[in-house]
Amino acid sequence: MINWDEQERLAEELLTRLFPICRSITGNGLRESLAIIQEYTEFNLVEYPSGTQCFDWQIPDEWNISDAWIKDSSGREIVSFRKNNLHVMGYSEPFHKRLSFDELRPHLHSLPSLPDAIPYRTSYYSRNWGFCLTDRQLGQLDQSDTFEVFIDATLAPGSLSLLESIIGPPESNEYLVSTYCCHPSMANDNLSGVVLTTLLHRLMNQSLKLNKSYRFLILPETIGAIAYLAHHESIMRQSSGGFVVTTCAGPGPFGFKTTFQGNHLIDRVIRQTMREYTVEPVEYPFAPDGSDERQYSSPGFRIPVASITRDKYYEYSFYHTSLDDLSFVTPQNLVSTLRLYWSCIQKLEKESTFRSLNPNGEVQLGRRGLYPQTGGALKQSAAGEGDKIEDGTSDVLTPRQADPVDAITWFLFLADGEHSLLSMAERSGVPFDQLYSIALELEKQGLCSAN
Amino acid sequence: MINWDEQERLAEELLTRLFPICRSITGNGLRESLAIIQEYTEFNLVEYPSGTQCFDWQIPDEWNISDAWIKDSSGREIVSFRKNNLHVMGYSEPFHKRLSFDELRPHLHSLPSLPDAIPYRTSYYSRNWGFCLTDRQLGQLDQSDTFEVFIDATLAPGSLSLLESIIGPPESNEYLVSTYCCHPSMANDNLSGVVLTTLLHRLMNQSLKLNKSYRFLILPETIGAIAYLAHHESIMRQSSGGFVVTTCAGPGPFGFKTTFQGNHLIDRVIRQTMREYTVEPVEYPFAPDGSDERQYSSPGFRIPVASITRDKYYEYSFYHTSLDDLSFVTPQNLVSTLRLYWSCIQKLEKESTFRSLNPNGEVQLGRRGLYPQTGGALKQSAAGEGDKIEDGTSDVLTPRQADPVDAITWFLFLADGEHSLLSMAERSGVPFDQLYSIALELEKQGLCSAN
Amino acid sequence: MINWDEQERLAEELLTRLFPICRSITGNGLRESLAIIQEYTEFNLVEYPSGTQCFDWQIPDEWNISDAWIKDSSGREIVSFRKNNLHVMGYSEPFHKRLSFDELRPHLHSLPSLPDAIPYRTSYYSRNWGFCLTDRQLGQLDQSDTFEVFIDATLAPGSLSLLESIIGPPESNEYLVSTYCCHPSMANDNLSGVVLTTLLHRLMNQSLKLNKSYRFLILPETIGAIAYLAHHESIMRQSSGGFVVTTCAGPGPFGFKTTFQGNHLIDRVIRQTMREYTVEPVEYPFAPDGSDERQYSSPGFRIPVASITRDKYYEYSFYHTSLDDLSFVTPQNLVSTLRLYWSCIQKLEKESTFRSLNPNGEVQLGRRGLYPQTGGALKQSAAGEGDKIEDGTSDVLTPRQADPVDAITWFLFLADGEHSLLSMAERSGVPFDQLYSIALELEKQGLCSAN
């Protein structure tokens, strides 16, 4: 059994350590973050040099930043990178000059709708510089003043960094678990995804004899996924599907963004898991927006990938702002999503098909002690209904169980060599794990065999 | 035309004669009941000896009971088999001993939720004995008293009895109609099923030139169906589907338990019949509980069988108690369900495919007297809407009819050699029998031919 | 761009010129109407002689009428063909006699439910005569009077007239656009259909380089369609589908009668068009009533034809009466339906499949100026939502547009050589024409190619 409290403790620790670092799609902040992740579980660091052609894209120069600020004519720092790394637009080029307000204004970004939030902005592929500040700060600038603008950054050939780990037996179906770690100090988007992926990998690597193979990737969004696909074109085309982990620890409702295919094994596994935990997620039909599903599911690959979210990107007002901080997410919420992913992985691991060895009529369960001896009474209702996950709270999740006689009866009725455990669960309402336990027990008793 | 009043009279007679008999899965009560049925229609008696291996099961010893009672220390009969045969747990072994209340208590069954009901309990495959009594009776027992318990029963090698009849031409598709008759004095579960099956067989045997073949079985539940399947493995595997007749005369709503397949010809025939009679049954998706669908639809056979019910087992509070008596059911309710089954059988009988002999453009109905001579007017709405079956009342059922011009136009439009009469009815809303009459009439006029 | 105001002007002109003419399924009124249509666009006149066998039907004798009236004994004209050609039942045989009221009465038709309406009645295939009058007129007749009845008509061998035009390249898929023009002075049923078909043909003939072939037919209902099918059996069997244009200019809601097939390309094109214009039509599932879909979709042809209506036949109270006149329809309503048909035709014309030439991962839109340079901001919502067509008003219709970046992203994501533009539109919600423009633009840029 997994110690979920321990997972919450680790989640909190990782969130706290990783949050302050200024990450981007390349650079030392990214590298530093990946190194911290490697302290917790085994990943390989991969670096692709700047300038490498990857399909329609090129790995850009590496961006590193030491400091940046805007001072008014009195020398007072008005905006400072050291206070919040969101203040500098990602990939801002080096700059140092005194400017009038009118010259400065086009380089300032704020959010009138959230006057106390610093927005998150980038300019990866178009040389530019900029500062992001709260709308309140912007309003307080003296438009007749002049401003000294300083960005101590470098844009130079280097490399793009990412983490990769393949676990499980090499011959089996391979699934993908991918997340992006290019965002600076924001918690739900996407530190939560990075931490969940780290913990999921750690749990699988430690505690499971795996039946299937899993490719874990922690990489910069878009260019990282494209670079990785370009370097693993043939193997990735054979991927059986997987998950893009993102925005999974907010206080809002669970969400489920489906695969491009819509009713793939990946979708069915997620829907079944949600049913078992009596979670009713907001379902988001696939769209080619969001994250790296845009790359993995592109026409050349069509890998079916889905996401389980908690406050999905685009859907919460603090999205891509400084208000998406450590007070917005909780380790408990993160682990509640981790448990759903864990349950999905369990299903991928155990999915298989069984055949009853007494297919003609019912098996006489009574003489095997699997049926009540006295007949005629109404069967009891299901023992436990499971704990419902209340949205916005951190619960101990318990999947509901079906009545044991119902469960075994359904299993044997459907054990025709055609229904997999997942299709049995979908048809019968009996939880997947309960069916799996029955399968093991009945196999031991010589009543069924794997197909 | 069938005399439905006569069917009600016969139903009442059969219910009255069969109700008092103490039936079980074997024994003389069962045999006596089957003999009464044979007075009404032609069935063959089949006996399988105790000890016969049937797939995973063995035919048990035969159980016969003459008397049973509990007396208190004053010699007063507290519980007596002669008052109600439900007082003795089915398959109770012979017993005679004086017991303290504490020794007796584990052998007493009552229903606290229905304090005036004697529950129905059995112990077929685990040697035991027991008494069932009302919760009120149980509460009145003097716990400091001693009790003389007497069960004058035998459990000895004998046989399992059942009725079988195959009607209709031997070469055609074979359908199954099965019911169970192992329950002692209870009316809806399942004397109603026994009586309906008897009357349905009688009607079909008397009045129809049958196009299809029908295998009728009246047998003890579970072990009877398993034994029959084991003795007719190959022929039963070829069955085209059928009906498990049960709990069909209560005051509650019509129910429809689907086949395992869910949208088989059997389901479609039932759904179409319900639509035509404007009955909206409670639909119960298949589950491997209930009755002998558990055997017939087991992985080794997968015969699609469904049930039309009126107060379905499990769903009414008097289920499996002494309150399910002759005051709970009515002959009228029983015959209302019989009429639905009859209509289903009609559809199985007549289902076929026709081809218009003038498929290009419309047939000129006008010059054949099948269309109004004056054009331009709106067509009249359907002549009769049929009588709605009010749940819980006994109605004369009349299926609704479609406008005659609409009906003939739909028929000719769909008579493409691909739409069967049933699929025509489903698509057009025109009742099946109306389409069948049109087919016969147009065939006579040389406008269509059977495909 | 099409001048829709000009279409309204033409619609008004055609409605006004054609309305007074007494049309029937044959005769000079029909011929005169067809000649007027030929002034506006290129059609060929086709004549089939009386007596020609067409499948199950024969072309009837030609009917021509000069005058008809009923006079009372004082010589006062009570009912007069010259006042309204609906007063005479279509195909009334010549008649001149003095009759008592009782003799006259069976030949009089009125509508008690609409006491001021003259109903429309015909008797094409059964020799008879009749007068239609308002129920108020009927009530005012002096039943003790005698009446002189005069019908100056001829029924004699002649021919059935229709218009035919085939436009577009001969090798491509051929679509059908058919309407009926056999109704006398009624506006919505079916002068509106005749005028819409004329204008649609005129627009397509003038302004489009067509990719597909279109067979336009303007013919008498039923016998005209049957006669045409009988003379073009093989070519019509290969038709790719089409439209039966009818009742399309009333003040009521848009309607959509589906094809027999129900989800054919024709249905999908209509549904997609409706979505784009945010019209929610009343959907009428196919039934073998209505108009010439009864012939085109008959078992021998099964051409998928659908109708877009505005006040569909059967559904408005003035249907087939003198109240369906030029005050009931408007040129604006007619042109609103014309625009929907036009948009459907556009989709048939442009429907094709594209393949991204950069299928692996995303295309880097940014460096091609097709993506915002600054990242991180939420995408803007769609620019325009389009004008909703308010039922019963004449709007300038503008289909809604999707966000340009969304639209291009969806296009490239679905450009896998399997999704046609229509299926892209259905899946993505991006309007068809927007996808088509993107396809042309990206093809020019070398980013995609037709499949």
Q: What is the DSSP secondary structure assignment for residue C366, as one 8-state letter? A: G
Three-state secondary structure string covering chain B: CCCHHHHHHHHHHHHHHHCCCCCCCCCHHHHHHHHHHHHHCCCEEEEEECCCEECCEECCCEEEEEEEEEEECCCCEEEECCCCHHHECECCCCEEEEEEHHHHHHHEECCCCCCCCCECCECCCCCCCCEECCHHHHHHCCCCCEEEEEEEEEEECCEEEEEEEEECCCCCCEEEEEEECCCCCCHHHHHHHHHHHHHHHHHHHHHCCCCCEEEEEEECCCHHHHHHHHHCHHHHHCCCCEEEECCECCCCCEEEECCCCCCCHHHHHHHHHHHHCCCCCEEECCCCCCCCHHHHCCCCCCCCEEEEEECCCCCCCCCCECCCCCCCCCHHHHHHHHHHHHHHHHHHHHCCEEEECCCCCCCCCHHHCCCCCCECCCCCCCCCCCCCCCCCCCCCCCCCCCCHHHHHHHHHHHCEEEEEHHHHHHHHCCCHHHHHHHHHHHHHCCCEEEC
Both tokens assigned to B325: 């008596």
For residue B125, list chain A residues with Cβ-Cβ distance below 8 A.
364, 366-367, 373
Give the closest of C378, C413, C428 to A314, CB-based. Answer: C378
Which of A211, A93, A68 lies closest to A150, judged by CA? A68
Give the closest of B356, B358, B362 to C294, CB-based. Answer: B362
Q: Is A361 in contact with B229 (Cβ distance < 8 A)?
A: yes
Give the closest of C109, C123, C287 to B373, CB-based. Answer: C123
For B92, list phi and psi in degrees, rounded to 5. -60, 135
One-letter identity of residue C429: G
Residue with tokens 């359904």: A410
pLDDT at B88 over 80: yes
Give the closest of C90, C225, C298 to B359, CB-based. Answer: C298
Q: Is B413 in contact with C299 (Cβ distance < 8 A)?
A: yes
% helix / strand / coil in chain C, to the nearest 5? 35, 25, 45
pLDDT of chain C, 451 residues: tens digit per residue: 899 999 999 999 999 999 999 999 999 999 999 999 999 999 999 999 999 999 999 999 999 999 999 999 999 999 999 999 999 999 999 999 999 999 999 999 999 999 999 999 999 999 999 999 999 999 999 999 999 999 999 999 999 999 999 999 987 889 999 999 999 999 999 999 999 999 999 999 997 689 999 999 999 999 999 999 999 999 999 999 999 999 999 999 999 999 999 999 999 999 999 999 999 999 999 999 999 999 999 999 999 999 999 999 999 999 999 999 999 999 999 999 999 999 999 999 999 999 999 999 999 999 998 888 888 887 654 434 444 444 444 454 677 899 999 999 999 999 999 999 999 999 999 999 999 999 999 999 999 999 8
CA dist., res. C188 & res. C191, Å (int): 6
For residue A376, list chain B residues with Cβ-Cβ distance below 8 A.
90, 119-122, 320
Which of C148, C153, C100, C99 lies closest to C123, judged by CA? C153
Work out whether strand B174-180 and strand B213-219 pair parallel, antiparallel, or are unpaired: parallel
* Sign of the dihedral through C-alpha C223, C228, C230, C233: negative
Both tokens assigned to B208: 């129809």
How is chain C split into domains, by residue range? 4-60+159-350, 64-155, 353-372+391-450
Q: Mean pLDDT in chain A? A: 94
Both tokens assigned to C349: 């014309």
Chain B: residue whose CA lies nearest to A379? B314
Mean pLDDT for the stretch of residues A412-441: 98
Compute the nearest-CA separation of A180 from chain B (Å). Answer: 44
Residue B379: per-residue pLDDT: 67
pLDDT tens per residue, range A213-251 = 999 999 999 999 999 999 999 999 999 999 999 999 999
pLDDT tens per residue, range A283-311 = 999 999 999 999 999 999 999 999 999 99
Q: Is B360 in contact with C233 (Cβ distance < 8 A)?
A: yes
Mean pLDDT for the stretch of residues A111-125: 97
Residue C441: per-residue pLDDT: 96
For B411, list phi and psi in degrees, rounded to 5. -55, -50
One-letter identity of residue A105: R
Chain B: residue whose CA lies nearest to A410? B288
pLDDT at B392 over 60: no
| Residues 6+ positions from C6 with CB-CB distance below 8 Å | none
CA dist., res. B406 & res. B381, Å (int): 10
Residue C379: per-residue pLDDT: 67
Mean pLDDT for the stretch of residues B432-439: 97
Mean pLDDT for the stretch of residues B412-434: 98
Q: Is B119 in contact with A359 (Cβ distance < 8 A)?
A: no
Chain C: residue whose CA lies nearest to B416? C299
CA dist., res. C333 & res. C323, Å (int): 17
* Sign of the dihedral through C-alpha A281, A282, A284, A290: negative
Mean pLDDT for the stretch of residues B162-188: 96
Q: Mean pLDDT in chain B? A: 94
For residue A373, list chain B residues with Cβ-Cβ distance below 8 A.
123, 125-126, 128
CA dist., res. A177 & res. A348, Å (int): 13
Size of interface A-C (CB pairs under 8 A): 90
β-strand partners of C305: C242
ipTM over 0.85: yes
Please give the distance of CA B69 from its chain centroid, rounded to a whole number.
33
* Neighbors of chain A by Cβ distance (3+ pairs < 8 Å): B, C
Q: Is B320 in contact with A406 (Cβ distance < 8 A)?
A: no
Residues of A with a Cβ under 8 Å from any B Cβ are 356, 358-364, 366-367, 373-379, 406, 409-410, 412-416, 428
**How many CB atoms sit inside 10 A of residue A43's CB?**
22
Which of A92, A113, A298 to mutate: most C Cβ within 10 Å? A298
Compute the nearest-CA separation of A27 from chain B (Å). Answer: 59
Residue B396: per-residue pLDDT: 46
Collapsing DSSP to helix, strand or coil, C392 comes out as: coil
Q: Is B119 in contact with A364 (Cβ distance < 8 A)?
A: no
What's the angle, vertex CA C272, arms to CA C268 and CA C273, rounded to 5?
120
CATH code of C353-372+391-450, in short, is 1.10.10.10
| A256-265, B312-321, B361-370, C224-233: least confident range | B361-370
Q: Is residue C15 within 8 Å of residue C187, measured between CB atoms? A: yes
Q: What is the enclosing helix (H) or strand (E) of C356?
A: strand C353-356
CA dist., res. C320 & res. C119, Å (int): 6
pLDDT at A99 over 80: yes
For residue C89, list chain B residues with Cβ-Cβ distance below 8 A.
374
Both tokens assigned to A232: 């693993």
Q: Is A362 in contact with B122 (Cβ distance < 8 A)?
A: no
For residue A92, list chain C residues with Cβ-Cβ distance below 8 A.
none
pLDDT at B414 over 60: yes
Half-sphere exposure of C142 (CA within 13 A, CB side): 10
For A50, list phi and psi in degrees, rounded to 5. -55, 145
pLDDT tens per residue, range A123-171 = 999 999 999 999 999 999 999 999 999 999 999 999 999 999 999 998 7
Which of C374, C447, C448 to mutate: most A Cβ within 10 Å? C374
CATH code of C4-60+159-350, in short, is 3.40.630.10
Compute the nearest-CA separation of B127 from chain A (Å). Answer: 10
Half-sphere exposure of B174 (CA within 13 A, CB side): 17
Residue B207: per-residue pLDDT: 76
Which of A175, A212, A168, A216 lies closest to A352, judged by CA? A212
Which of A363, A381, A403, A413 to mutate: most B Cβ within 10 Å? A413
Q: What is the enclosing helix (H) or strand (E) of C437?
A: helix C432-444
Give the closest of B124, B230, B302 to A375, CB-based. Answer: B124
Residue A371: per-residue pLDDT: 84
pLDDT at B406 over 70: yes
Residue B410: per-residue pLDDT: 98
Question: How many distinct helices (H) and strands (E) make up chain C?
Answer: 13, 19
Collapsing DSSP to helix, strand or coil, A433 comes out as: helix
Both tokens assigned to A236: 């990735």
Yes or no: domain B64-155 corresponds to CATH 3.30.470.20: no
Decide: pTM greater than 0.90: yes
Chain C: residue whose CA lies nearest to B361? C295
| Residues 6+ positions from C173 with CB-CB distance below 8 Å | C212, C213, C240
Chain A: residue whose CA lies nearest to C419? A299
Half-sphere exposure of A119 (CA within 13 A, CB side): 23
Q: Is residue A416 within 8 Å of residue A359, measured between CB atoms? A: yes
For residue C360, list chain A residues with Cβ-Cβ distance below 8 A.
55-56, 226, 229-230, 233, 298-301
What's the angle, vertex CA A336, arms to CA A333 and CA A342, rounded to 5?
145
Which of C355, C377, C378, C374 lies closest to C366, judged by CA? C374
pLDDT at A390 over 50: no
One-letter identity of residue A382: A
For residue C363, list chain A residues with Cβ-Cβ distance below 8 A.
56
Residue B398: per-residue pLDDT: 72
pLDDT tens per residue, range B103-162 = 999 999 999 999 999 999 999 999 999 999 999 999 999 999 999 999 999 999 999 999
Give the closest of B121, B222, B299 to A377, CB-based. Answer: B121
Q: Is residue B359 within 8 Å of residue B413, measured between CB atoms? A: no
Residues of C with a Cβ under 8 Å from any B Cβ are 54-57, 89-90, 109, 119-126, 128, 130, 222, 225-226, 229-230, 233, 287-289, 294-295, 297-302, 314, 319-320
CA dist., res. B421 & res. B349, Å (int): 11
For residue C378, list chain A residues with Cβ-Cβ distance below 8 A.
314, 319-320
Chain A: residue whose CA lies nearest to C377? A121
Collapsing DSSP to helix, strand or coil, A114 comes out as: coil
Residue C380: per-residue pLDDT: 54
Q: Is C288 in contact with B359 (Cβ distance < 8 A)?
A: no
Residue A397: per-residue pLDDT: 67
Residue A386: per-residue pLDDT: 43
Residue with tokens 């000896």: B49
CA dist., res. C380 & res. C377, Å (int): 9
% chain A with pLDDT above 90: 90
pLDDT tens per residue, range A312-329 = 999 999 999 999 999 999
